[in-house]
Structure 1
Amino acid sequence: MSGLTIKDLRVVFDGFVAVGGVDLAVPAGDVRFIIGPNGAGKTTLVDAVTGLVKATGSVTFDGHELLGRKVHRIARLGIGRTFQTAAVFEELTVLQNLDIAAGWSRSPLSLLRKRTAVPPEVAEALETVGLAAVSDKLAGTLAHGQKQWLEIGMLLVQNARLLLLDEPVAGMSQSERDATGELLGRLATDRTVVVIEHDMDFLRRFARTVTVLHAGRKLSEGTVAEVQADPRVQEVYLGHAAKEA
């Protein structure tokens, strides 16, 4: 397994510093939560890692420098990302969604051939994300949480080894959040997982380590207990969240 290393990452939009010199080391097998108030730079940081925005500094994974590479080439290096709204083919079944995702590196000719059995990587992904029992259901009929799990499964069949998940439990029921937290733990046995999250209860239960961003910079980092005890975090983020609640 490989970890993610970010050094002096900077993203500037028309003079506005969205990410201002962030250093971040996420070891293999970690479930790292990245938190911070709106405008902290969380999503922009992930955009930079996945090639969606231009950035300076260094981002390495598995010995490969990611900055400067095209989005599809970064994905082929084993980096997978989900967004707040699950991007699945709703008119196709769960199995068909996974089969299409699994064929991303296959030739056009092989994609035209009818499958006679479920590919091993697809069967494994179905079991991992807990959708084996609904493999023949249309993706559009799935519950909200199940669609998020399907999107994660689509990354698994593409052999993603670094998973960047943007608010994966937003809009989920309590039982779905619990199942997602357990899923993160299973994923981290042979992958590196980074989660952008606002749900503090979910973070307390399932984060292994936490990085707090504020105004485009790293404010604090450590275990959940260490971050919660940091007066700067209490003032800037947790105190703000508590007032909102």
Structure 2
Amino acid sequence: MSEALLEVRGLNVVFSGFHALTDLDFTLRRGELRFLIGPNGAGKTTLIDVITGLTRPASGSVRFDGRELVGRREHRIVRAGVGRTFQTSVVFEELSVVDNLDLAAGFRRPLPALLRRRRGVSDAVAAALDTIGLGDLADRPAGVLSHGQRQWLEIGMLVVQRPRLLLLDEPVAGMSRDERDRTGELLRTVARDHTVLVVEHDMDFLRRFASTVTVLHEGRLLCQGTVAQVQADPRVQEVYLGRAKEAA
């Protein structure tokens, strides 16, 4: 079994008396493609916010590759090798697809270098274009992309930064069936070279593309295991899957 890349221990997050996360322990191993699920308010996005430095926990530890992240600034966590997407894609609409990727690839470069006119496409940007399948749209403004294509571009913008851990918050929300399928294949491709944690609500997508799943409920770890193990757990059926069936 591969060694742990991310270790969360005894994590507690409180907002105005509300316990968003309670005594949470969570481990993510190198090379994993892990899905994180749970009802609204379960604490999924809060966990991502703590890992990336956006939220400060009341107590607990978050160690990435053996180093503590709690208390570190967001940009230092990014430079340590942690990248994330948000529920709403963030791209520069007026720039071309390739310029968005080039700008992301140069995040470690000083400002004068970023302002210089680009000469050709770097190997890293070309590889990212191929990975996300937007080579034919490389010179088109990002603003004309479909919802799914924008999400793929944002994932590509993370990949060119060479993070060791990718945190993806509901990457298939609002996508068509075809876009969801392509996104699933993209995640599998990205996971060959990165550790990936996916926050997701789409249960059909999870059944088709997940292998290991962690379930949160009311800020606590409810269970984790394979898709089959999680689906068979009576607690999950009651708390998550059962509610989804009733809503349908």
TM range (shorter): over 0.9
Q: How does 1:212-223 map to 2 (within 5 A)?
A: 212-223=215-226
CA distance in 2, matches of 1:179, 1:2: 29
- Partner in structure 2 of residue 47 of structure 1: 49
- Partner in structure 1 of residue 16 of structure 2: 14
- Partner in structure 2 of residue 97 of structure 1: 100
Residue 9 of structure 1: how far off its partner (Å): 1.2
Query: Secondary structure at 2:113's aligned position in 1?
Result: helix
CA distance in 1, matches of 2:54, 2:114: 28
2:150 maps to a residue whose letter is K
1:27 maps to a residue whose letter is R
User: What's the CA shift string for 1:200-227, capped at 9, x where partnerless?
Assistant: 0000011111011000000010000000
Give the TM-score normalised by structure 2: 0.96
Residue 133 of structure 1: how far off its partner (Å): 1.4
2:6–2:62 CA contact under 8 A, matched in 1:
yes
- Partner in structure 1 of residue 181 of structure 2: 178
Query: C-alpha root-mean-square deviation of aligned residues, in Å?
Result: 1.1
Task: Return the match for 2:126 from 115, 123, 135.
Answer: 123
1:242 maps to a residue whose letter is K
CA distance in 2, matches of 1:18, 1:113: 45
1:2–1:192 CA contact under 8 A, matched in 2:
no
- Partner in structure 2 of residue 138 of structure 1: 141
Residue 110 of structure 1: how far off its partner (Å): 1.5
CA distance in 1, matches of 2:120, 2:175: 33
Residue 112 of structure 1: how far off its partner (Å): 2.7
In structure 1, list runs of 5 or more residues that go unmatched: none
2:85–2:154 CA contact under 8 A, matched in 1:
yes
Task: Return the match for 1:113 from 96, 113, 116.
Answer: 116
Task: Return the match for 1:207 from 204, 210, 227.
Answer: 210
Q: Does 1:74 align with 2:74?
A: no
Query: Secondary structure at 1:104's aligned position in 2?
Result: coil
CA distance in 1, matches of 2:42, 2:18: 12
- Partner in structure 2 of residue 31 of structure 1: 33
Query: Secondary structure at 2:107's aligned position in 1?
Result: helix
- Partner in structure 2 of residue 194 of structure 1: 197
- Partner in structure 2 of residue 244 of structure 1: 247
CA distance in 2, matches of 1:178, 1:138: 24
2:4–2:27 CA contact under 8 A, matched in 1:
no
User: What's the CA shift string for 1:117-153, capped at 9, x where partnerless?
Assistant: 1111111111111111111111010111000010011
2:71 maps to a residue whose letter is G
Evaluate the alpha carbon distance shift between residue 155 and residue 203 of structure 1 in structure 2; reply closer, same or farther with a 3 A threshold: same
CA distance in 1, matches of 2:118, 2:142: 20
Residue 2 of structure 1: how far off its partner (Å): 6.3
CA distance in 1, matches of 2:229, 2:176: 28
Structure 1 residue ranges, 4+ long, deviating more than 4 angstroms after superposition: none
Identity %: 63
1:31–1:209 CA contact under 8 A, matched in 2:
yes
2:42 maps to a residue whose letter is A
CA distance in 2, matches of 1:108, 1:44: 32
CA distance in 2, matches of 1:152, 1:139: 13
CA distance in 1, matches of 2:217, 2:115: 49
Q: Does 1:83 align with 2:86?
A: yes
CA distance in 2, matches of 1:226, 1:108: 49
Give the TM-score normalised by structure 1: 0.97
Task: Return the match for 1:148 from 141, 151, 167.
Answer: 151
1:138 maps to a residue whose letter is P
1:70 maps to a residue whose letter is R
1:240 maps to a residue whose letter is R
- Partner in structure 1 of residue 228 of structure 2: 225
1:30–1:208 CA contact under 8 A, matched in 2:
no
Query: Secondary structure at 2:106's aligned position in 1?
Result: helix
